[in-house]
Amino acid sequence: MSERFQINIEPEVLDDLQNAIDYYDSKKEGLGEIFLGMIDKHFELLKDHYLSFAVRYDDIRCLPVKKFPYTIHYRVSSSQKIVSIKAVFCSFEDPDKWEERAL
């Protein structure tokens, strides 16, 4: 079995996650925790299957989150064995938001 990659989470991603958790908790208590659990499962998946998802922007790959309208945007550094999480965006948000973050 090949070596698992490490996950590096960019600081802006923590804001993305907290905003989503707050939103879901405002809709139903505990839903934010369910969302975060799903994100954690997807991060674990990326440690082994980092190349399984399509490149959408230059070298940024996107992994859709099951059961929630979010996509994890990430970059792979094969030489360093790191998956860098760049964003966790809601699919209902303005795509220009990614353009601003990608610069």
How confident is the model over 28-63, as pLDDT tens digits?
999 999 999 999 999 999 999 988 888 887 889 999
How confident is the model over 2-32, as pLDDT tens digits?
689 999 999 999 999 999 999 999 999 999 9
Which amino acid, 99? E
Which residue shows structure tokens 């698992």? 4
Q: Is residue 55 part of a domain?
A: yes
Full residue range of the structural domain in which residue 28 is found: 6-102
Q: Is residue 1 part of a domain?
A: no
Q: Flag whether the pTM goes above 0.75.
A: yes
- CATH code for the domain in which residue 42 is found: 3.30.2310.20
Contacts of 72 (CB under 8 A, 6+ apart): 39, 42, 43, 46, 62, 63, 65, 85, 87, 88
Q: Is residue 13 part of a domain?
A: yes
Structural domains counted in the chain: 1
Q: Is residue 14 part of a domain?
A: yes
Q: Round the average pLDDT of the chain to a whole number and report it.
A: 90
Specify the pLDDT at position 26: 97
Q: Is residue 46 part of a domain?
A: yes
Strand, helix or coil for residue 30: coil
